[in-house]
Amino acid sequence: MPHSAEATGPTPFFLNVIFHGPFIFAMYSNRIEVLVPDIKEHIVGAGTFKSERPCLPDIYSLIGIKTDQSAMVNLDPKHFVLDANKTKFQIASESYYRFILQPLPYRIIPLGLLTLTSLLVLTGNDARSITNPPVFGSAHSFTYKIEVNKDEPQLENMQWTPVVRSGDNVNSINLHIFAESPYLLDLLHPNRDFTSLVAYLAGLSLDAQRPFPQVTSFVPNPDATQYGITKEEQGGLRFILDASPLVPPRICDAPSILVTNAT
């Protein structure tokens, strides 16, 4: 079902916190914690698109959001979702990088949609506990409704000046967080990424297909435009939009996992 940004009244204004690369998104009742492992080939940076600054391993918190987000919109099916109420595992209390998003966003939008040669991506005893969509996001936007003179978004621990972009009937501030490689890596790279991710979910028996299936198409999510996210912003570090066999996001296309009902 298509998204529907507010169509009447003042120009809608959104903050989009956009994660590129493989992450664990642990959704607690009042916040989302984003866990990032230490992956040698990946570089981590955050900021306005193409002006991002490198990030050192640390905890980074989104602050300054005062507008009520109401109840979060139901999750888009184009995510890998693991319900913590239905499967036994432990979310690591520490991670190499951690981004804390509070409050919960208005919605989570999958971006840079990938289709693979194989529908089956995950293996292991717990693979059946995770939704395995045929098309899934290579990037994820945590989108907040914001208002001028009310919200002052900042990423604590990071020097970032929010930049307002005015588009067609929408204003937006987009904060990009990359954890990717700018270069082509070996075919088992996505598997190593995924293993590093799953290590943060102790007790899960989960792996990715080896080698990871090839990407057959990469399509920007058209629904993101109404929230002020351009097509280019849905790509990876090298923002390549055409599907081709071994280019970003192929170079680090291990899927991210959304963990719901985290406690």
Contacts with another protein, residue ranges (CB under 8 A): 41, 43, 45, 47-48, 50-54, 161-166, 178, 181-185, 232, 237-240, 244, 246-248
- CA-wise closest residue to 256 among 137, 123, 120, 84: 137
- CA-wise closest residue to 71 among 104, 42, 94: 104
Cβ closest to another protein, residue 141 vs residue 181? 181
Cβ closest to another protein, residue 3 vs residue 165? 165
- Minimal distance in Å, beta carbon 209 to another protein? 22
By residue count, the chain amounts to 263
- Minimal distance in Å, beta carbon 92 to another protein? 26
- Minimal distance in Å, beta carbon 249 to another protein? 12
Taking the alpha carbons at both ends of the chain, their separation in whole angstroms is 30
Cβ closest to another protein, residue 27 vs residue 179? 179
Q: Which residues contact 32 (CB under 8 A, 6 or more apart)?
A: 25, 26, 100, 101, 102, 104, 105, 142
- Minimal distance in Å, beta carbon 164 to another protein? 6
User: For 36-163, where are the alpha helices, taking DSSP H only?
Assistant: none
- Minimal distance in Å, beta carbon 248 to another protein? 8
CB 5 within 8 A of CB 170: yes
Cβ closest to another protein, residue 126 vs residue 180? 180
Cβ closest to another protein, residue 171 vs residue 195? 171
What is the C-alpha to C-alpha distance for residues 116 and 244, in angstroms, rounded to an integer? 12
